Amino acid sequence: MIVRIISEGQYRLDSALLDELNAVDAEIVAAVGQEDDARFRDLLARLFALVRERGRPLLPDELAPSDVVLPPPDLSLAEAKTLFVGEGLLPG
């Protein structure tokens, strides 16, 4: 699975990590719905950390279609309200 973090790059992740990413994504949806900025920030940082720590960065000349596109790390809660709705960003 290829995950892109906007403004940062792409990472190759084992698809077995999808359930863990989905759990964090669902928590982000809840935090956004409750307008809990502190929890939103913590969870967004956790989502990025999972991708960065457990993924392998793709080389610049190794671009591939992204299965998941994550927003930039400086995303505001107001901006997140348009992205983290319903089932969130991740499939499943």
Give residue-wise pLDDT tens across range 32-72.
Answer: 999 999 999 999 999 999 999 999 999 988 878 999 999 99
- In this structure, the number of other CB atoms found within 10 A of the CB of residue 44 comes to 23
What is the value of pTM for the model shown? 0.89
Let me know: does 54 contact 16? Beta carbons within 8 Å: no
| Cα 15-61-2 angle, rounded to 5 deg | 15
**Domain boundaries in the chain?**
2-79
- In this structure, the number of other CB atoms found within 10 A of the CB of residue 5 comes to 21
pLDDT of residue 92: 59
- Compute the distance between CA of residue 26 and CA of residue 18 in angstroms, rounded to an integer: 12
